[in-house]
Amino acid sequence: MKKHILLMPLDMHLHLRDGVMLENIAPLTAYSFSGAVIMPNLISPITTKEDLVAYKERIVAAAPNDYFEPYMTLFYQNYDKNFLVDVAEEITAIKLYPAGITTNSDDGVSSFDIKEMRPTLEAMSQLGIPLCIHGETDGFVMDREAEFMPIYELLAKNFPDLKIIMEHITTKAAVDMLDKYDNLYATITVHHLLLTLDDVVGGMMQPHLFCKPIAKRPEDLDALLSIALEAHPKVMFGSDSAPHPCNKKESCGCAAGVFTAPIALQLLCEIFEQFDKLDNLQTFVSDNAQGIYGICPEFKEVVLEKRPFVVPDAYSNVVPMYAGETLSWAIESVD
């Protein structure tokens, strides 16, 4: 059997939710990843040190024996410097959502006024706190990410010492933007390396492939594959794995989010093997993230094996991407 080893895999963009969902879902990521950047957009967003610490404690309690580090984030507000100094040791980044643009983002940023944002962003620059951004406008759904590019430019120019992560990029426009500014980086999901909009709604609507940002055009998929497969030094894996109960996905008003946490590494092996780039997967799924964020994750060795693996129909009432289908790689062991 063909095997492939990954050391300290990292998921640099993950949704774990809270309560029973957290308890059911967190172990699935903690099993095969050394760490993950945890999104703060709970129903009541994480905006205080107390809430942040308590949420991390709940995550650790949900996966107590898996040598897994939750890299915590705050929900962006115009925080003052004293607060950021106090919380800096507890966080890995701050996550900015445009208001109302995705799940639980109503309290996000409604105006990118540089004068209003400057005290917070300058303090973040000085303290070395990265800014992660869900980069979409409220325009036509296929154009939202491309329309956000001028905002990335505005921030990158005004705050050259601020590390800015363009989250879950989906377009050639974002790929082209990446190398225009030294302080821009990006995460890429596994589902955006596999899907175009045609896969989601080209035939019967596929609710478990519906996400925000929505999958785009074939030329966008090709652009994402080009930088991921080459393990471009400014990109890293971030699953944006987003669990919703089955009744919230298979319903009118389908919730946005693709659940990939338990199968992400298997799918990545398939993709990178298909293009004869398996040797680059380690860099994409761990090494780049360690360098960009300056983190040293818990040691974990994941051995994947080339053999059929049938994706379960559900994990605790959450339906994964490709449920019931057979993948060509499986996780053999984790040490």
Rg for the chain (alpha carbons), in Å? 19
Beta-carbon contacts of 149 under 8 Å, excluding residues fewer than 6 positions away, are 135, 173, 174, 177
Distance CA(49)–CA(51), nearest Å, equals 6
In DSSP notation, 131-185 reads EEE----SS-GGGHHHHHHHHHHHHHHH-TTS-EEETT--SHHHHHHHTTSTTEE
Distance CA(54)–CA(73), nearest Å, equals 13
Residue 5 phi, psi dihedral angles, 5° rounding: -105, 135
* 240 in catalytic set: yes
Q: Are strands 301-305 and 184-188 parallel, antiparallel or unpaired?
A: unpaired
Amino acid at 28: L
Q: What 8-state DSSP symbol labels residue 109?
A: B
Catalytic residue chosen out of the listed positions 240, 279, 313, 335: 240
Beta-carbon contacts of 271 under 8 Å, excluding residues fewer than 6 positions away, are 190, 193, 194, 225, 228, 229
User: Angle 221-227-232 (CA atoms, 0-180°, nearest 5)?
Assistant: 160
Element (H, E) at 86: helix 81-87
Which SS3 state, helix, strand or coil, does residue 75 take? strand
Beta-carbon contacts of 175 under 8 Å, excluding residues fewer than 6 positions away, are 169, 223, 224, 226, 227
Positions marked active-site = 240
